[in-house]
Amino acid sequence: MNTTAQDAHTDAAGDLPHTAFSAATDRAIRFTGEAASWLWPLLMLVIVVQVAMRYLLGRGSIMFEELQWHIYGVGFLIGLAYTLQTDGHVRVDVLAERWSRRTRAIIEIIGIVALLLPFAVAVIIEGSKLAHTAYLLNEVSPAPGGLPYRWVIKAAVPFGFMLLTLAALARLSRCTALVLGFPRPVPPR
């Protein structure tokens, strides 16, 4: 594919070409990330209720405190995939800004395959075991008045990393489309 045709299939930032897989995956992750963005107002509401209970009524609540941590944790875990998908993660661009798109894509392929995917798969496997064990044991918070169903928050870890793995595979397909021409780039929607 020539450079002009390839550039027609890149995203708005002109970074990487889209593929059919990345387009579908990106839509799903964007939807999930935008849906999860409603966790932040919910988190603020829980914090306000917790503060009001503590300072106006003189009664703190372990349940509300733990709920804050859980909402934040789930939002953060889902946000990992959304941030990778939107290319909003932190990078060291001192060297990368001088490299060609192709060189940056090759380095990104190596990073995704050698570092990100093995780590994400390990977290999915081990996190799933922990969530399953918590479910079988009907694990609850050790704090008096804490939240029940500890398996729910533990299940958020492998779920978040599954989303991150999907985002990484979508990004990988975009990098290989640029470097290898496979999978075939498609126009962005």
Q: What is the pLDDT of residues 40-86, one digit of tens each?
A: 999 999 999 999 999 999 898 899 999 999 999 999 999 999 999 88
Q: Is residue 188 part of a domain?
A: no
First to last CA, the chain: 20
pLDDT recorded at residue 5: 42
What is the average pLDDT across 10-36? 84
Q: Is residue 37 part of a domain?
A: yes
HEC profile for 159-184? Answer: HHHHHHHHHHHHHHHHHHHHHHCCCC
The 10 Å CB-count burial string (b at 16+, else e) for 127-151 is bbebbeebeeeebebeeeeebeebb
pLDDT recorded at residue 15: 82
Q: Is residue 95 part of a domain?
A: no
Look at 186 and 166; give whichever has higher pLDDT.
Answer: 166
pLDDT recorded at residue 2: 42
Residue 4 is which amino acid?
T
Q: Is residue 128 part of a domain?
A: yes
Q: How many domains does the chain fold into?
A: 1
- Please give the residue range of the domain that contains residue 17: 10-87+100-180
Q: Is residue 166 part of a domain?
A: yes
Confidence of residue 10 (pLDDT cuts 50, 70, 90): very low
Please check the confidence at residue 189 and state whether its pLDDT lies above 70: no
Q: Is residue 2 part of a domain?
A: no
Q: Is residue 121 part of a domain?
A: yes
Task: Give the angle subtended at the CA of 162 by the CAs of 67 and 20, to the nearest 5°.
Answer: 130
Q: Is residue 18 part of a domain?
A: yes
**Tell me: the pLDDT tens digits for 126-181?**
999 999 999 999 999 999 989 999 999 999 999 999 999 999 999 999 999 999 99
What is the average pLDDT across 89-98? 73
Please check the confidence at residue 13 and state whether its pLDDT lies above 90: no
Contact predicate 128/158, CB 8 Å = yes
Look at 117 and 59; give whichever has higher pLDDT.
Answer: 117
What is the average pLDDT across 74-103? 85
